[in-house]
A and B are shown apart, each in its own frame.
Chain A
Amino acid sequence: MSATFVGMPAFPAAAREALSDTQLRRNLAHATGTIRAKRAAVVGEVDEWEELRLAGAAIKDNTLRHLDEHLLRLEESLTDRGATVHWARDAAEACEIVASIAKQHAVDEVVKVKSMATQEIGLNEALAAQGITAWETDLAELIVQLGDDLPSHILVPAIHRNRAEIREIFRDKMAAAGRPAPDDLSDRPAELAGAARLHLREKFLRARMAVSGANFAVAETGTLVVVESEGNGRMCLTLPEVVVSVVGIEKIVPTWSDLDVFLQLLPRSSTGERMNPYTSTWSGATEGQEAHVVLLDNGRTRALADEVGRQALRCIRCSACLNVCPVYERTGGHAYGSVYPGPIGAILNPLLRGTGVDDQVDSLPYASSLCGACFEACPVRIDIPEVLVHLRSKVVDAHRSAPKAEAVAMKSASWVLADSKRLGLAERGLGLAGRLLGRFGRKVMPGGRRALGRLPWPGSLWSNARDVPAPPVESFRAWWRREGRR
């Protein structure tokens, strides 16, 4: 299993490739459209939805403002209830802790509950390097893992695959990983799920160690909460002797009763259900199991230090922002080059990893039309457009020493705009261009205005991904001179 996001091209290049994949676009449009409609229906049932969003945002913000105290409280309550608490500064440290627990118990395989944090730290690859196999047990994650593929959605990671592709993956790859797929496997969803059930049950029944994340960690009581659908989470959390949970430090809520907000917000925003099929909660070591909790930083404190960006740490990974995003719907998740795709990925990756370090990460704040749909959908009211704009300015600042085409264009624009005579001249030029180009404009944009086709370089950097309106045939200032003084 070697698939990795490392070395992915920057968003514009990856997006262009994704856009040419019609199968992908069809799968995505179907998926996001379906989930959007389901979500809208169940959110519409809740009259107090807006208040719940405000409550969710306030609880998370208040927690972040005193995160050090809540972390200490969580550590204490977990320890009191028999769990062992570990702290991990970064991905490597977290992976090392999990590997060393596996070695103490002499296990060479672990079963895994789907978890964004463990994907973020590349746990499977790190364990593999130490001779420990990690089996993903969520059906979609299994499809991704067997297909040596990458997840493309937070909630439904294999959404870019259709049933025929899934059948091929199961037939080709299951045997090497354990129980093979039945010979007569068809591409009916129920049969595919049945094959996965048999394949994975074998692994659940023999596994001695499981790795999970947590949707929430209650500081007051040391309670961890895992929300899921299939029961694979319950299998991993109840059968093995040892459970290790990797928990981002932003997952904390202060008290047990605060869960009454999030257990309403999460399922409705995420799968568009009133409640997900299964939720498990446990506080410390339970029913004789050995419990470990790894508290993970890996850039979260960097995000916390950014006063505008900090709100991204409220995220409960529901994926609602992906499903409403016009950019995500067309490019899919892989183009974002990260386990966190879509609008939240566009802000979370630069916040966790810093700007000005990696061109791929720096391209992400631009992977948005700033339409604001993500903010409307977000159950904890993260103002993603605000953070995007803020991060764009940070990216620009970080690159100031080596100006990019866009920055050069902006500079010359400011030279023109700074002087009214220059502006008048430029506008006359544009008006002429507008008359010429408007006539040849190949596309018509919504509202009937003509659009230009591809511009020559460096304009192509802009026009490849956008319709560029043909310049108006007359500038406002010219019109005002002609008409406005009457």
Chain B
Amino acid sequence: MSAREEILGRVRSALAATDPSEAPVPRGYRSVVPAGDVVELFAERLVDYRAELTRCTADTLPAALADALGTAESVLVPDGFPWEVPGGVPDTGQSAAELDRLDAVVTLAALAIATTGTIVLDHGRGQGRRVVSLVPDRHVCVLRTDQIVPGVPQAVAALSPDRPQTWISGPSATSDIELNRVEGVHGPRTLHVLLVSS
């Protein structure tokens, strides 16, 4: 008998005496929204994760972008990223080793979550392949305030599983050495979010 048939058979016999009716799942949590302004909450929680945050408007964005990129000389710019980037290098499918030699990356995001300070990339236009927001050491992400949803349930509801996703909450971090938090073990050591009022 194949492993598949055998495992399914074992599952069925393990459940033979079990009442198949299902328990109701309480879903009240889906309508819970945080008190106060979600934009402020997002900003507070994002910074709490030691990410950097700059608030700007559509007009001040180019300056904020240049500022956030600081001394970076080479910046990966994914297809569909709508602004001019100083030192911008288009995504031509660079290998990880090539990306490793770039200083920074700029991306858009699919949405952000206020209660957790999380940005979510579904790697659509302007967000780049999964690897581009991972290998360069500085990630600058441009987000509009109207992309912020209150909590995890609203984010899950708005996202499609058909696209791969990367949920990012602050820079890469480890607490494996005596529980001291250290940023940037493998991912970018700096996450800078530019929050554009809309």
Residues of A at the B interface (CB closer than 8 Å) are 27, 30-31, 34-35, 47-48, 51-52, 54-55, 58-59, 61-62, 65-68, 71-72, 86-89, 93, 137-140, 143, 156, 158-159, 162-163, 166, 189-190, 192-193, 196-197, 200-201, 204-205, 218, 221, 223, 229-232, 234-235, 237-239, 249, 256-257, 259-261, 263-264, 267, 271, 273-283, 286-287, 295, 297, 301-302, 304-305, 307
Contacts and interface: CB of A to CB of B under 8 A. Distances in A.
21 contacts: A48-B29, A48-B32, A62-B23, A67-B15, A71-B8, A158-B176, A159-B179, A192-B177, A197-B186, A218-B161, A229-B172, A230-B172, A231-B134, A234-B166, A260-B29, A260-B30, A260-B153, A274-B45, A281-B161, A287-B164, A304-B11
A156 B129 CA distance: 30
A138 B113 CA distance: 26
Nearest to A167: B177
Contacts of A301: 7, 10-11, 14
Contact of B186 (A51, A66, A230, A257): A230
Contact of A260 (B156, B169, B180): B156
Contact of A193 (B17, B130, B174): B174
Nearest to B118: A275
A68 B16 CA distance: 11
Contacts of A280: 130, 164-167
B100 interface: yes
A72 B131 CA distance: 32
B7 A189 contact: no
Nearest to A301: B10
A275 B187 contact: no
Given A58-B26, A59-B25, A275-B167, A67 B184 contact: no
B15 to A, nearest CB: 7
A62 B25 contact: yes
A48 B28 contact: yes
Contacts of B14: 301-302, 304-305
B175 interface: yes
A193 B167 contact: no
Contacts of B4: 87
B169 A87 contact: no
A283 B15 contact: no
B184 to A, nearest CB: 7
Interface in B148-177: 151-153, 155-157, 161-162, 164-177
B29 A55 contact: yes
B20 interface: yes
Given A67-B11, A276-B169, A281-B161, A140 B97 contact: no
Contacts of B11: 67-68, 71, 249, 301, 304
A234 B130 contact: yes
Nearest to B188: A231
Contacts of A273: 169
Interface string B183-198: 0111110000000000
Nearest to B168: A278
Given A231-B186, A238-B131, A305-B13, A263 B152 contact: yes
A192 B174 CA distance: 11
Interface in B25-57: 25-30, 32, 45, 49
B18 interface: yes
Contacts of A196: 185
Contacts of A51: 26, 28-29
B180 A189 contact: yes
B84 interface: no
Given A55-B29, A231-B134, A275 B7 contact: no
